[in-house]
Chain A
Amino acid sequence: MVFSSIPFLFYFLPVTLILYFIAPRKLKNAVLLTVSIVFYSWGEPVYIVLMVISILINYLFGLKINKRLQNNISAKFPLVLGIAVNLFLLGFFKYADFLIDNLNGFLSLGIGRLNLPLPLGISFYTFQAMSYIIDLYRGDVKVQKNIVNFGTYVALFPQLIAGPIVKMKTIASELDNRKESFDDFASGAKRFVTGLGKKVLLANNIGLVWTRIHSMNISELPVLTAWIGILAFTFQIYFDFSGYSDMAIGLGRIFGFHFLENFDYPYISRDITEFWRRWHISLSTWFKEYLYIPLGGNRFGLLKQIRNIIIVWLLTGFWHGAAWNFVIWGVYFGIILIFEKVFLLKVLKKIPGVLRHIYTMLLVVISWVFFSADNIHQALCYIKTMFGGYGNNFYDSKALYILSNNLILLILLAVGCTPLVSKFVKKIVDVGTKTSAFFETFVMVGIFILVTAYLVSSSYNPFLYFRF
């Protein structure tokens, strides 16, 4: 199920809230686990089996690792086996066809594809589960002996299908014992509605522009149209993804959980190193803690560090999708980060801030070409078009039309990427008067009404239109 839908907002959420808040303390996690399973199986009824298996396996590995550690026996074997099982599940369901296609391509084998649909959220929940067994092995978290609590941790519906990747150590104490409060409920509700607005009103809206331009013949696009298209995608992916994280963090808070932040205005970064400290924070810290540092990080000289960066970014790219363009996307960032580490950061510090912003956003926007393309060839064609490589016009009437039709939206999006809105709101709200509370409530209800209107309208196909 997705948050930005009528069934979630007006069917799933109210029922969940009632069940959760009337349930006695002891049963609250059981309620969360049950509704999370319903949430997951909504539209994916079969793969629920896979998630339950993943919960059971990691729970059992947790017990085993703990037992060995308590008896002062090395727990390396169950840890490695546990990681291998998790990676196997992820690899089989996400990457098997990629492997088969490449084997067929390079070695001309005729292996049949599996054509398995990707299980929802598998990349997120396997990473969560792995962080648990690794942290347990390292002694950073205590073992979770209660299967319901452990299941709740893995399956918790707010962050189940698109993150943030919540580590056990972040919520371990809240999982066993937490207190819901009006303050948390209110700030959670505000955060949820903000995310809902970002997703439905902004991301989906600008997404229409990208979908339209993406479906045109790329080599014939005017330069301006190509730039509007990829800028539209740049905005779409940020508002979509950070909106989802807002909704997840907000819902978590309603139930008394405090997840870590996942985005921190990435598009105001002044270099790529900073960009990756602000974008999808839960993923980059995951790779840092569980891959980069164990590989040696920066402790064994520059050459080893460069190797480690490349490995991490190759896999970060691959994590995003089983296709070469994602691998290229990851390595692209890896190479830029190495350049910045070796000399570029020193150079950048000497140039004016505006140029640094342009440098960063240009590289980020180009990265989205690789990310959004169906394959590498298409991405290269798109970049060629952006820089006038096909000798196309700079603009045409259609480009101006798209621009004028979306100008206000684009301005809103550009402002929305910066902390300006939240600074403005804080200025009004921090006054702490009754008026500010009314203002906040008013804005929240306004966003909710607009979101409902957008969601209801999405099913509306007026007969009128088809007569044109």
Chain B
Amino acid sequence: MKNRLIAVVFTAVIFIGSITAWCYPVKEYSKEENRALQKMPEFNFQRLIRGKYIKEFENFTTDQFPLRNGWVAVKSYSDLALGKKITERYISDPTKHFFLWTI
């Protein structure tokens, strides 16, 4: 029973994440970052061999991850909890941080 719970929850988390990621609508542009987000790259054998296709696919999976801004907020809260004043990406002034999250 005990182990079943862990096994089922682990599988569920991965599959829910995976299915949501597949179905989530593609966003073209990120206002917060002022850049175009990576779309699903078109398959091309030459690009695959040179490793470019994979690189773009990896960017696609993170750029288009469901609720991306929400995850970034979770990360910045965890930085705050660790007592970090500056994170790699931005100054985590609580107001600006809130600003990021609500944009």
Taking Cβ atoms with an 8 Å cutoff, the residues of A that contact B are 5-7, 9-11, 13-14, 17, 42-46, 182-183, 185-187, 189-190, 193, 205, 208, 401, 404-409, 432, 434, 436-438, 440-441, 444-445, 448-450, 452-465, 468
Contacts and interface: CB of A to CB of B under 8 A. Distances in A.
Contacts of A452: 17, 65, 71
A468 B91 CA distance: 9
Contacts of B17: 9-10, 452
B86 interface: yes
Which of A17, A185, A449, A462 has the most chain B CB atoms closer than 10 A to its own CB?
A462
Contacts of B15: 14
A6 B3 contact: no
A450 B78 contact: yes
Interface residues on B, range: 35 or more
Interface string B57-90: 1110111010010011011101000111110111
A208 B9 CA distance: 32
Nearest to A458: B62
B90 A462 contact: yes
Contacts of A457: 71-72, 75-76, 89
Contacts of A208: 88
Contacts of B57: 7
Given A405-B84, A444-B10, A460 B72 contact: yes
Nearest to A452: B71
A43 to B, nearest CB: 5
Contact of B18 (A14, A42, A44): A14
Interface in B1-18: 1-7, 9-11, 13-15, 17-18
Given A6-B65, A432-B2, A448 B86 contact: no
Contact of A441 (B6, B51, B59, B88): B6
B26 interface: no
Given A189-B10, A437-B6, A461 B33 contact: yes
B102 interface: no
30 contacts: A6-B21, A10-B14, A11-B61, A17-B11, A42-B54, A43-B51, A45-B48, A46-B49, A182-B7, A185-B10, A186-B4, A187-B3, A189-B7, A193-B10, A208-B88, A405-B83, A405-B84, A434-B1, A437-B1, A441-B9, A452-B17, A452-B65, A453-B72, A456-B72, A461-B89, A463-B32, A464-B96, A464-B99, A464-B100, A468-B91
Given A5-B58, A437-B5, A463-B32, 13 more contacts: A10-B14, A14-B14, A43-B54, A183-B3, A208-B88, A407-B83, A450-B74, A454-B78, A456-B65, A456-B75, A459-B59, A460-B68, A461-B35
A445 B9 contact: yes
Please name the 8 residue pairs, one residue from A and one from B, whose CB atoms are nearest each other, closest first.
A186-B3, A453-B74, A189-B10, A459-B62, A457-B75, A456-B71, A437-B2, A186-B6
A68 B51 CA distance: 43
Contact of B83 (A186, A404, A448, A449): A404
